[in-house]
Amino acid sequence: MKSKAMSAKQLLVVLSAVLVGGIFAACGTPAAAPQVVRETVVVQATQVVRETVVVEGTPQVVERVVTATPEPTSAPPSAGEPIENVRISINSKLTAPDAHKQMGLGAFMLQYLVGGQLFRLNPDFSVTPYLAEGYEVSDDGLTYTVKLKPDLKFSDGSPITAEDVVYTFTRSTELKNPRNLQLGPLESVTAVDPQTVEFKLTQPFPNLLIGLADAGFSIYPKAALEADPDYFAKGPFVSAGQYVLSDWTPGASEWTVSENPEFFGGPSMVKNVTFVAVPDQTSRVLQVTTGAIDYAYDLPASARQDFPEEVKTFAVPILGMYNVNFNLERAKGQPWGDPKVRQAISLAIDRQAIQDRAFFGISPAAEGFLYKGPPEWIGVLPNGGKQDLEAAKALLAETDWPNGGFGFSIQPWGQRPGWTDAATIIKENLAGLGIEVTVEPKTDADAIANLNAGNYDAQFSGNTQDPLSMLKNQFAEGGTWTKWSRYNNPEVTKALVDAGFAADQKTRIELFHKAQELAYGDMVFIPISERVVLVASRIPRNILCEANLLPGYNPRIATVQEFTDGSGPCK
């Protein structure tokens, strides 16, 4: 008995040692935990090259400056071989794949891949015909005539006709699609002939084409949808886009899209794409690190240096801005109710520090209310948005609070990576003006509830839209953010409304710039930096581009992706 008891003891000793050893091993090596924070700077090699050239028969030595940006080292050249399946992890499940209802990220991405819209957007907010072959605008700017590409087919082989386009927009109106706002003063959509559709407006609205490129207006097959009232609950789905939703059940955390054999731009480099909903960011990082997933979307910027060599990270601008937005109702009688105080606050904010420390170098510091690129942009922030503490102090000295001595709270939307850190940096910056900031992170639900109830001094928030929609939403009467900030400046509203309806591009841009300059005077929104999402991929860049697998949060802008390696957008 004794010897048996001893062996049991020995066994227990061994088991305990293994357990304790396991725990120590787990604690011991940091592995891929995103703890290390480093900054990445796009490396450009600049060199002076001496060349000998022949000018009019005489050899001359000239100096030329060459700037080269290295190609991503681990992206192998395209072998031209199609890939059978790519696995992508994103943060949300696929809600009902109906573009005419409010969609989550999963559905947005889906619409980008399976949805065939009439147009797609270019980086400069011009449009490229997609299902459309071209369009004409009447002289009065009230009628847009869109011609479809010849011989277009849905994935089931049925032809895509003007009737389907009319049905799509009629259904969208009936279902109160939230994205109908993108269509402006649209009065009617009619089929002129099987290949031609006419959009009639009550007022000129140049942004109509941007609206037609919206994911909310994927063209649907009239016959299939009318034949089955439960079409979007179970399929089989018919697509006018690059892929077709081939495997999905409501509530499932995985779904697959497969190549549409009838797609006008086919064949695709990637035959199947499987999406996996993984809500936790760290898990998405680990998945792509271990190779369980090929491509992960929306990752913490702090993790970008911790991926293995074969995983490349890209920053995907989602055409939006991070702002500090004030509640003017609460601001009444408070120091920060004075626009000069808010301008001083803006001058005191170190946007570069926020870009470096909160967003780890992926979100360019703001110079105006819009992201750079579109002609509507204007750099309204003094000093290019760079911190100028002396100017801030001088401006504050012109107010009743020359030395600060007051405080307010900022509510960052705490679930978003970097937002609370950014608010904390602002708190540090404003301490230099004698302003005490309290940072109170809120969940998205609480933050929106507070916006509605006016239960906030200021928030660190984000907005993502095309220039007109974003500026109207923030500054014009009727805009949701305008309502939330309790802001009202009729001059700004008029400038933006007029800009929206201006048929002449020069006048339009002037009005946009005027509106932003006026809005700077009020400073109800302090722009901080551009909104960018980090993605990590094991798939080479060229294949990602070729397969259109770089969707942003807003798939209307899917062609605008920039790469942190400086290689520019997909061509």
Partner 1 sequence: MSTHQMAKLPSRSRFDAVAFGMGIIQNRIVSRLLRSLLVGFGVMTIAFFLLRLVPGDPVQLLLGDTGTPELVEAYRQMLGLDGTLPEQYLRYLGSVMQGDLGTSINSSVSVNTIIARSLPVTLWLIAVTIVLALALALPLSIAAAIYQRTWFGHTFRVASSILLATPVFYSGLLLLLLFAIQLKVAPVAGYRTTFPTNLNYLWLPALVLCGVMVPITARVLQSSVIDTLDQEFVETAVVRGLGRLTFTWRYLLRPSLAPTISLLGYMIGQLLSAAVVVELVFNLPGIGTSLIVEGVLLRDYPVVQGIVLVFGMIVVIVSFLSDLVSGWLDPRTQT
- 235 contacts partner 1 (rule: CB under 8 A): no
Q: Out of 208, 212, 245, 278, point to the residue binding partner 1 (CB under 8 A).
A: 278
As beta bridge partners, residue 52 has: 61
Contacts of 447-451 with C-beta under 8 Å, sequence gap 24+, read 447/411, 447/413, 450/411, 451/484
Taking alpha carbons only, the member of 311, 308, 355 closest to residue 527 is 355
Q: Out of 95, 239, 327, 537, point to the residue binding partner 1 (CB under 8 A).
A: 95
> Least CB distance from residue 253 to partner 1, whole Å?
4
State the binding string over 287-316 for partner 1 (x if CB under 8 A, else -).
x-xx-x------------------------
Q: Out of 42, 405, 449, 521, point to the residue binding partner 1 (CB under 8 A).
A: 449
SS3 assignment for 146-174 = EEECCCCECCCCCECCHHHHHHHHHHHHH
Of 357 and 442, CB closest to partner 1: 442
As beta bridge partners, residue 254 has: 276
- Give the three-state DSSP class for 340: helix
DSSP code at position 175: T
State the binding string over 481-500 for partner 1 (x if CB under 8 A, else -).
x-------------------
- 53 contacts partner 1 (rule: CB under 8 A): no
Exposed/middle/buried for 245, CB within 10 Å: 0-12, 13-18, 19+?
buried
State the binding string over 157-196 for partner 1 (x if CB under 8 A, else -).
-------------------x-xx-x---------------
Residues 300 and 490: their CA atoms lie apart, in Å, by 40
- 10 contacts partner 1 (rule: CB under 8 A): no
Q: Give exposure, 534-563, as e/b (b: 16+ Cβ within 10 Å).
A: bbbbbbbbbbbbbbbbbbbbbbbbbbbbbb
Q: Out of 14, 252, 394, 397, point to the residue binding partner 1 (CB under 8 A).
A: 252
Number of residues that bind partner 1 (CB under 8 A): 59
Scanning residues 323 to 362, which ones bind partner 1 (CB under 8 A)?
none
Of 311 and 395, CB closest to partner 1: 311
Contacts of 281-286 with C-beta under 8 Å, sequence gap 24+, read 281/91, 281/417, 282/34, 283/89, 284/89, 284/90, 284/91, 285/32, 285/34, 285/536, 286/32
Q: Which stretch binds partner 1 (CB under 8 A): 35-43, 92-100, 363-371, 529-537?
A: 92-100
Of 158 and 283, CB closest to partner 1: 283
Exposed/middle/buried for 409, CB within 10 Å: 0-12, 13-18, 19+?
middle
Residue 385: CB atoms within 10 Å: 22
Q: Out of 6, 7, 9, 69, point to the residue binding partner 1 (CB under 8 A).
A: 9
Of 227 and 453, CB closest to partner 1: 453
Q: Which stretch binds partner 1 (CB under 8 A): 127-135, 280-288, 298-306, 526-534?
A: 280-288
> Least CB distance from residue 210 to partner 1, whole Å?
15
Scanning residues 405 to 434, which ones bind partner 1 (CB under 8 A)?
415
Given the rule CB under 8 A, which residues bind partner 1? Answer: 8-9, 12, 16, 19, 22-23, 25-27, 29, 31-33, 89, 92-93, 95-96, 98, 101-102, 104, 176, 178-179, 181, 249-253, 276-280, 283-284, 286-287, 289-290, 292, 415, 443-446, 448-450, 452-453, 463, 473, 478, 480-481
